[in-house]
Amino acid sequence: TQLLEQSPQFLSIQEGENLTVYCNSSSVFSSLQWYRQEPGEGPVLLVTVVTGGEVKKLKRLTFQFGDARKDSSLHITAAQPGDTGLYLCAHSGGGADGLTFGKGTHLIIQP
């Protein structure tokens, strides 16, 4: 099982600030997914990155897949209270056995 290390584990910032969270591994991934989970709900897919060096933007969220496909980052610009949640990265082992998730970054944006 390829382990995914997410950092930081917890992050609390003020509204309007920028932030970056990370997802790292020692192994190469064919693809990586980012999910956001709000309290009392299941995770929801934000983006899938496939190509090394790929950058995808989703409004104020920017996702990057490392050139070597071993790491990924999520940058949020001008964070808003609605961005509060648990951010999870996940990868597929390539077989039929589902996604392996990192432990997540708990993000709180204070008004």
Partner 1 sequence: NAGVTQTPKFQVLKTGQSMTLQCAQDMNHEYMSWYRQDPGMGLRLIHYSVGAGITDQGEVPNGYNVSRSTTEDFPLRLLSAAPSQTSVYFCASSTGTNTGELFFGEGSRLTVL
For residues 68 and 13, give the distance between their C-alpha atoms in angstroms, rounded to a whole number. 30
Among the residue ranges 38-46, 53-61, 66-74, 76-84, the one whose residues contact partner 1 (CB under 8 A): 38-46
Amino acid identity at 3: L
Using CB under 8 A, which of 12, 27, 30, 80 touches partner 1?
30
**In the complex, what is the shortest distance from the CB of residue 53 to partner 1, in angstroms, rounded to a whole number?**
17
Q: How far apart are CA 12 and CA 100, in angstroms?
A: 26
Residue 83: name the closest of 47, 63, 111, 55 by CA: 111
Among 23, 25, 36, 43, binds partner 1 (CB under 8 A): 43
Q: Which amino acid is at 100?
A: T
The answer to whether 72 and 105 have CB atoms below 8 angstroms apart is no
Q: How many residues interact with partner 1 (rule CB under 8 A)?
A: 26
Contacts with partner 1 by CB under 8 A lie at 1, 30-31, 33, 35, 40-45, 48, 50, 88, 90, 92, 94, 96-104
